[in-house]
Amino acid sequence: MKNKYLIFTFLFFGCDYQKTIDTRYNIPQLWDEPISDYLNVGQETYPNNFDTRIGALRVHENKLWIGYGDTRVNMGSTIPIEFRRYDDPRSPQVIATPVSAINQGAKQRTPTDTGEERIIPFNHFKGQLWQAGYDSNNDDELWTQALPGPERLIQGNIFVLKADENEPVWEKRRNIPGGEHVHDLAYFSGSIYAVGSGAAHRREWEESRIYRYLWKSDDMGETFSVFHRKRYSMGDGDTRYRSLLSIGNKLYVFGYINPSNDKIPMEGRHLIISNNEISGLEGPMKNIVVWKTWPLTDKLGLAIGNVGDKVSRTFQIDKKGPIELTNWTDKRILYISPGESKGLWLVLAGNGLENENFKVYRFSEKSINNLSSVLDLGLNSFSSISLWYQDLYLGSSDGKLFKANRIK
């Protein structure tokens, strides 16, 4: 009887799993234009010279969140950058979400003003949605510099999604000491870690004493302290810790140095935190510039190394350490999102050629190196993807949101 039950279970759930991994989607159709006001202001102020992408999509508690903005021309100092979301896939109505920011930076221009230049891909841990404050706008920076004290300080922001009478509200915390840029957050061994770059105060910054930073919070993000910082010491240039990845009993910290001298290449500078001790990362990833990490489980994740617009070098990281994925080497990885069922993931990638072709792929956590094609996007340039109520949503490079219906 037991064997019959096992056979039935395999046939029933095996067939269902097979349907899941064979899921396909129709050609994407324009669904909404959620940042048209931002695009209009940008085109008037910085014609054809600002970031127009929807660079982040994330589903949390059945709502679809988007990310956008620009840190090159600092669009958030021109127009408020907002946490925007959709509540209902039947109605393409974008909603700007309130930000609670009392005494957490300059006075808000609107109740939904983040004080940031850009919303980047979201972090999710401990059942909550988080956002690293990539780059404070000019008003926030001036607010911090005016705080009483002997030096003009530098601070960075983090945000956590809360609820006010069951309505979403983002709580702003301007509590990252020295944080000119805050690039990523991760939960590891009972603490929240943040990475970025900056200096203790403006005098340090203006004297080109720029540091890459690792911060730590032991009270769930209420306060942060400097866990580690390293100065850039090669003359003019930049240095940052950019990405985090928590894998088992190790926290991977990925950073880089970027000399202003074009003859000196940009190189990775990485750490591993284990048992509260710091060591350098050796091996094939030592000098790779990692631009993004994607945690898959508590014990498994991906690190994406990119150089310009060329194809990526993608590494699987588990308890054994980093392993390069050889079947991913001809692709420029742009975005990774949860797939149709647990253990499946979707990948948005280009081929890195001059006339770039874009596709959506699927992989299983059990065989990450095996990518299967899901949807050919042709020359249409997209920058983010997410499944929402079984359909595929794609953020485009020109600020639009497309929907690809699941083929029943």
Q: How far is Cα 289 from Cα 306, in angstroms, rounded to an integer? A: 6
- The whole-number average pLDDT for the span 8-21 is 48
- For residue 129, list its beta bridge partners: 124
- The whole-number average pLDDT for the span 93-122 is 97
**Minimum mean pLDDT range among 25-34, 198-207, 232-241, 321-330:** 232-241
Task: Provide the b/e sequence for 85-95 (b: ≥16 CB within 10 Å).
Answer: bbeeeeeeebb
Query: What is the predicted pLDDT for the residue at 262?
Result: 77
Q: How confident is the model at residue 94 (pLDDT cuts 50, 70, 90)?
A: very high
CA 4 to chain centre: 46
The pLDDT of residue 15 is above 70: no
Query: What is the predicted pLDDT for the residue at 11?
Result: 43
Q: How confident is the model at residue 3 (pLDDT cuts 50, 70, 90)?
A: low
pLDDT tens figures, 247-268? 999 999 999 999 987 778 899 9
The pLDDT of residue 9 is above 50: no
The pLDDT of residue 142 is above 70: yes
Cβ-contact 236, 187 below 8 angstroms: no
Direct distance between the N- and C-terminal alpha carbons of the chain, in angstroms, rounded to an integer: 35
pLDDT tens figures, 55-64? 999 999 999 9
> Best-predicted range by mean pLDDT among 19-23, 52-56, 233-237?
52-56
Higher pLDDT, 170 or 12: 170
